Amino acid sequence: MFDLLVLGSGVAGLTTALRGAAAGMSVLVLTKGELASSATRFAQGGVAAAIAGSDTPEMHLADTLVAGAGSCDVDAVRALVNEGPLRVRELAAMGAAFDTAPGDHGEELLLAREGGHSVARVVHAGGDATGAEIERALVAAVRRSDRMEVREGWFAVDLIVETARCRGIVALDDRGAATDVRASETVLATGGAGQCYAVTTNPLLSTGDGIALALRAGVACADVEFVQFHPTALCLESMPRPLLSEALRGEGAVLRDEHGSAFMVGEHPMADLAPRDVVSLAAARRISASGIDHVWLDATMIERLEERFPTIWAACAESGLDPRRSGYRWHRPPTISRVAW
């Protein structure tokens, strides 16, 4: 019997587990793949936090509320913007190596800009491999802890509910046998459900298991209409689609239609850095009007793209695409990054 059972080993699960252990709880992390296996490790662009001297949590709050278009839970946004800088520093103290450069006060965090943000405030690692670095640091911290047990290759299938309380779960163990795992508290941190969609950037493990087993146990699920999605990914047959991080547009990349027109200008005052829903809607309109199943992302102006975005560079190279190429004839079949809808 554990004090705390955490299902899932992404950033949510491992952070909760470390917090529980620090509070003196006996903790079990149970995860269906290997410990590092998660959507977290595929996160590219980074973590938004008001860290720059010229930035404030109030500015981050204002940007988030505008992007949220009336749907934000203001208390939750306040927690996010106020605690963000502290959480980034905690991750760094745990060993996450965020990208830095020499500044006036020694090594300073490099900050990128993404859609909906009025200033650069996105901390990143390995250029565009932020999630891999955060997951690596969290896994290392969990492995160091002596208050934690880890079960890899265990698949949670049902909650055990007794006298209206969750007392643990039924899991298929690493040999496929159904086993009860009991705990005083159970946290579902099993990630998203991107694989429910025909087109997704989410890894194969994002199958909404936690939502399903909670619903089966009669747990009320809130906010299911809020699904995070990426407006831009490479238009290939492969699934998941290789993500083209919003940070590309933060560095100057421009969405173009089949005539080469930069169509976000005129759609929104922030043009290509408009919030995701605005960008997606504008791209969908162009796609529907043109009858072509994609638009284009012109990244030819980004210098040293291979250093700043090594993950995207590798995905393009694997597909025979060279994002540095200019002089593109827009009505021809694409030879630079295509963006799926």
Ligand X SMILES: Cc1cc2nc3c(=O)[nH]c(=O)nc-3n(C[C@H](O)[C@H](O)[C@H](O)COP(=O)(O)OP(=O)(O)OC[C@H]3O[C@@H](n4cnc5c(N)ncnc54)[C@H](O)[C@@H]3O)c2cc1C
Taking only Cα atoms into account, the Rg of the chain, rounded to an integer number of angstroms, comes to 21
**Residues between 99 and 158 that touch ligand X (CB under 6 A):** 130-131, 155-156
98 forms part of the interface with ligand X (CB under 6 A)? no
Q: How many CB atoms lie within 10 A of CB 287?
A: 18
The stretch among 30-38, 78-86, 258-266, 329-337 that binds ligand X (CB under 6 A) is: 30-38
Residue 141 CB, nearest approach to ligand X (Å): 15
Q: Which of 3, 26, 33, 239 binds ligand X (CB under 6 A)?
A: 33
Q: Contact, 170 vs 160, CB < 8 A? A: yes
Orientation angle between helical segments 130-144 and 74-94, nearest 10 degrees: 70
Per the annotation, the verdict on 285 as an active-site residue is no
Residue 41 CB, nearest approach to ligand X (Å): 7
Tokens of 5: 């059972």
**Residues between 166 and 185 that touch ligand X (CB under 6 A):** none
Q: Which of 4, 5, 6, 8 binds ligand X (CB under 6 A)?
A: 8
209 forms part of the interface with ligand X (CB under 6 A)? yes
Name the active-site residue from 78, 89, 182, 276.
276
Residue 64 CB, nearest approach to ligand X (Å): 13
Binding track over 228-247 against ligand X, x by CB under 6 A: ---------------x----
Q: Which of 123, 205, 274, 297 binds ligand X (CB under 6 A)?
A: 205
Give the DSSP letter string of 5-49. Answer: EEE--SHHHHHHHHHHHHTT--EEEEESS-TT-SSGGG--S-EE-
CA nearest 325: which of 313, 339, 336? 336
Residue 262 CB, nearest approach to ligand X (Å): 24
The stretch among 53-61, 68-76, 159-167, 188-196 that binds ligand X (CB under 6 A) is: 188-196
In whole angstroms, give the CA distance from residue 307 to residue 127: 7
- Edge-to-edge strand ranges of the sheet holding 338-340: 254-256, 294-298, 338-340
Categorise residue 59: left if φ over 0, alpha if ψ from -120 to 50, beta otherwise. alpha
64 forms part of the interface with ligand X (CB under 6 A)? no
Q: How many CB atoms lie within 10 A of CB 62?
A: 14
Residue 190 CB, nearest approach to ligand X (Å): 4
Give phi and psi for 244, each to the nearest 5: -110, 95
Nearest residue relative to ligand X (C-beta): 10
Binding site for ligand X (CB under 6 A): 7-13, 30-33, 37-40, 42-47, 130-131, 155-156, 189-191, 201-202, 205-206, 209, 243
Q: Which residues are catalytic?
A: 276
